[in-house]
Chains A and B, each alone.
Chain A
Amino acid sequence: MKKEHYLWVATKTGLLGGAIGIFLCLIGMVEIFDKRDVVEGVITLGQFVLLATTTSMGFIASRRTSELLGQNQASLNLISGLVAGLISAILVVLLVVVGNLIDVRAVFLNASPVLYSLLSFNQGLAGIWILPLIGAVTGVVGAAFLLLREDIRGPISRGLLTLILMALFSGLFRVVLINQGSLWQVIAKGLFGQTGLTWIGAILFFGLAVFLSRFWSSKGDEYKARLNQLPKTRQTTLRVVLLALIVLIALGLPQMSGPFIAQVIVIISLYILMGLGLNITLGFAGLLDLGFVAFYAIGAYTVGLLTSYGPFGLQHIPFWVSVPIAVLVAMMFGAFLGLPVLGVRGDYLAIATLGFGEIVRLLAGSDFLAPYFGGPRGIIGIQKPCIGMLEEFLKTDTPRVCNGIELGTPQDIYYVAVASALLIAFVAWRLRESRLGRAWMAIREDEDVAEALGVNLVQTKLLAYMLGAAFAGLGGAIFTVLIGSIFASSMQLLVSINVVALIIVGGMGSIPGVIVGAIALIGLPELLREVSEFRYLIYGVTLIIMMLAKPEGLWPSQATKRELHHAEAENVTAENMV
């Protein structure tokens, strides 16, 4: 292959950076993020996004130059970084020039005067040279970053990452800390400002992260070795203490953090329940189900119909009695929906189950079945769970009085949700190690071989559908009491897709993977509601990057890890591996 000139490589990188910068401007990210600060009074999130683009383009150009030359050559690296950063910034500024000549806003809503004045630092066309200058400088900084020694570069990049994360979550931390009382309030106001970190906070978090990262890389191995040398009994005690600490934090968390965080954790737990369910059908047995939300809906509607004191309530039984019924009903439907698709494989299965999921949602929300399921108006007035005796049901639209503790708030539901998620995780783990679990995995690897080895396909597959459905049904049941109502419109295909995505991102067939996936894909976007405009955009990019960089997932099971690396080693086209 012909060797390219390093300046041409830098130019191409710059053009890419410019395209990214313009994209970020036109989707409105720069303008909206400009209202938030990374460090108050120093740099806004909008400016940060642009600078991060030019800096990373400088870094990439510098790295490509080194690859081209086969070595680092400081002056050339810095020049290519400069070129890349400069070109990126010039392209972005061109947007201002073009915007002053023609009306871009007729097509792109966000090409507004606000954006232009932001990009030209409030100086109109006279200010368009500022951004390219900054771009060039940051490009050089990015390029220089590559030239640093690894043991300096690592801590700095980790420090910056911590800084950004703290800045993104600063609003959340501030609120939580201020709730804790007077001393904490002072700390909170010192570290977190109204819109971002204060400069004290920024320096503190950056310094702390750099220090910890340096410390860990120099002393980490030593401590690990010391830990391993401890006698077995001491190790066990340490583990127990650690576990007890986690349990204590888990118990106290909702009281400390307020209803918002508790609600987010409940939602994460629900997705963990569904994820564990689908992990059986998809992760263990290899049956791709894109209509998983159906079972969730069935669990939710069963509990709703059985416990509601509204007009659609049938039985008015307590929540605790309705949950096992809901799980059983979901299981029955799992078998019912699993039966017709027993012989269907692969992508056909995906689309057939997708159809089932949609059918359930459409029927539940239709006027035809509205007399039973409330149609588009949903089922309201769901009885809260009660620890203790419930008074007799008197009349419609009046909740039964609870003599005891009523679990009404999200903080209360939190305990139910987390406990069930843990219980189900345990069940899933035991199932995987059981005879049935082995049979599922045999089916996943090769149906025909499994059958030849004496695995009963019909029973095993049906059990996978049924148990998966049961877990999802439990999730639906808890969701119902959290929200206090059910609407068919919340049972979208999107939920099923989210569940599939979180399993793959966490690591298929891995139980801790499901938990990690749920926290990453469901929890983080919920917590980052402030950037909600771009939530799904970031979600989409994350999915793609994840698949490109780490297709085995964040916490893969041992088997998947082996499989993927085996495949690489032998260069097997993975067509018949699911």
Chain B
Amino acid sequence: MRTTFTERFVDLAVNAFLWGFRILIVLMIVLGTFFTIRAGKYSGEQWIDFFVFGVSQGAIYALIALGYTMVYGILRMINFAHGDIFMTGAFGGYFMAIWLNSTGFIDRNPILGLLIPILFAMLLAASIAMLVERVAYRPLRNAPRLVPLIAAIGASFFIEYAFRGFFGPGKYAYPPIRVLEGNWDILGINILKVQVVVAIAAFIMMAILYSIVMYTKMGKAMRAVSESKDNAALMGIDVNRIIVSTFALGAAMAGAAGVLFALVYRQIDFFMGFTPGVKAFTAAVLGGIGNIPGAMVGGLLLGIFESVGPSLFLEGLGITRAYQLKDVIAYTMLVMILLFRPQGILGERISKQKA
């Protein structure tokens, strides 16, 4: 192919810039880490604290990310309202917990007192997601790709402000659960009980979801539909039903994540779904979108980097109040992944038709 001098020059400049960018970020990370560790401001115990917090946070991201990744895998659509489904779960769990708490049930049966709000939240979130799918997404299934995205943005606004109408703009405080207060002493390290329980609960949920997708007939059908809707239909799979159950399953995970989130942060409001939603989508892309183990890995990594990163990478570079920049770390990670490995950590290269 004949190219002009300017074209060659531009290409060269672009490549030089990209490599410079990559090297700069890697250098920043290495130098930041080096100086932070040399300064020795944080003890080993504090690092472990950061890490554990990151794991519990990341597990919540992973739970939300599952819904994004499953829906994307099947419909190739960013379900922008998923973060708000997460919020509806938190509200459902909250009202159930308040009611149980007022009857003294939580103090008598702490485990059931945790489980029932979670189950209720899952149920509520799944039904709202099914409703949204039926009203806003199903009629648009064959429309150009931006159309369902805009409908999803509309659904997101609708859910947020409907809940604001129902429950007002104020913050609600999740009732205290006595069993989860305080620390556990594991191998001489103090860890907040809430974080351990939240992380374990999230991992259990993920395991359940993974086995549903891998080992049940419905899961097999889901995987078939995500390969090809038409061929799956030819094999006698009811595609509509599978899509609805994918939405419901993803939403149930998000609903559970909502309650877990409320357990950690202790307060909920109608707008709480937005940031975790965007983060979880980032996590899904990080792990390779459409890939279920990828969403889990992406979520965990994002949570850990966000929690450890500001102190480890940035404080060494002399940046004050680095914790304000934890989201910057999350998004930089995303951009780096897209630069180095566009298909995500665990994703296979999606063919051009799909991407």
Which listed residue (A339, A501, A539) contacts B18, Cβ 8 A?
A339
Which of A108, A347, A366 is the most central at the interface, judged by chain B CB atoms within 10 Å of its CB? A347
Instruction: Decide if A575 is an interface residue (CB 8 Å cutoff).
Output: yes
B282 with A540: CB separation less than 8 A: no
B324 near A578 (CB under 8 angstroms)? no
**Least Cβ distance of A352 to chain B in Å?**
5
B160 and A536 contact, CB distance less than 8 A: yes
A576 located at the interface, meaning its Cβ lies under 8 Å from any Cβ of chain B in the complex = yes
Residue from A340, A355, A539 having most chain B Cβ neighbours under 10 A:
A355
- A542: nearest chain-B partner, CB-CB: B154
Bits for B148-163, please: 1 = Cβ < 8 Å to A, else 0.
1011011111111110
> Given A345-B355, A368-B319, A578-B144, does the pair A362, B166 have CB atoms closer than 8 Å?
no
> By the criterion CB–CB under 8 Å, are A576 and B157 in contact?
no
Given the known A-B contacts A26-B165, A359-B331, A540-B161, are A351 and B143 also in contact in the complex, defined by CB atoms under 8 Å?
no
Inter-subunit contact B331/A544 (CB<8 Å):
no
Specify the chain B residue showing the minimal Cβ separation from A454. B1
Which residues from chain B contact A505 at a C-beta distance below 8 Å?
A: 150
**Are A362 and B153 touching (Cβ within 8 A)?**
no
Of all chain B residues, the one with the shortest Cβ separation from A339 is B17
On chain B, the residues within 8 Å of A355 by CB distance are 282, 330-332, 334-335
Q: Report B-chain residues with C-beta under 8 Å of the C-beta of A456.
A: 7, 10
Beta-carbon contact of A459 and B157 below 8 Å: no
Q: B142 interface residue, CB < 8 Å from A?
A: yes
Measured CB to CB, the closest approach of chain B to A33, in angstroms, equals 12
Determine whether A354 belongs to the interface, using a CB cutoff of 8 Å to chain B.
yes
Query: A349 to B160, alpha carbons, bound, how many Å?
Result: 26
Which one, A354, A366, A533, A573, contacts B165 given CB within 8 A? A533
CA–CA, A108 to B289, complex, Å? 38
B78 touches A458 (CB 8 A): no
Instruction: Report the Cα distance A493→B147, complex, angstroms.
Output: 19
In the complex, chain B residues 57-78 whose Cβ is within 8 Å of any chain A Cβ:
72, 76, 78
Inside 8 A of A363's CB, which chain B residues have their CB?
A: 325, 328
**A337, closest chain B residue (CB):** B335
Task: List residues of chain A with CB within 8 A of the CB of B236.
Answer: none
> Chain B nearest CB: distance from A212 CB in Å?
32
How many Å lie between the Cα of A577 and that of B143 in the bound state? 9
**A577–B327 CA distance with the chains assembled, in angstroms:** 33
Q: Could you give, for residues 280-303 of chain B, a 1 whenever the CB lies within 8 Å of some chain A CB and a 0 otherwise?
A: 011001000100000000000000
Contact flags (1/0) for A1-42 with B, using CB distance below 8 Å?
000000000000000000000010011110000000000000
Known contacts A355-B331, A459-B7, A573-B142: A346-B355 contact under CB 8 Å: yes
CB pair B321–A108 under 8 Å, yes or no, is no
Question: What's the least CB distance linking A431 to chain B, in Å?
Answer: 20
A–B complex contacts, Cβ < 8 Å, 23 sampled: A27-B165, A108-B167, A288-B146, A340-B335, A342-B14, A346-B145, A347-B76, A347-B355, A348-B342, A355-B332, A355-B335, A501-B153, A537-B165, A541-B158, A543-B151, A543-B154, A546-B154, A547-B148, A564-B144, A567-B144, A575-B353, A578-B145, A578-B146
- Known contacts A540-B160, A547-B148, A548-B139; 15 additional CB pairs below 8 A are A288-B146, A339-B17, A340-B339, A344-B338, A351-B78, A354-B278, A500-B153, A536-B161, A542-B154, A543-B157, A546-B150, A547-B140, A547-B154, A573-B142, A574-B142
Q: Which residues of A contact B (CB under 8 A)?
A: 23, 26-29, 107-110, 288, 339-348, 350-352, 354-356, 358-359, 362-363, 366-368, 448, 456, 458-459, 493, 497, 500-501, 504-505, 508, 533-537, 539-544, 546-548, 551, 564, 567, 573-578
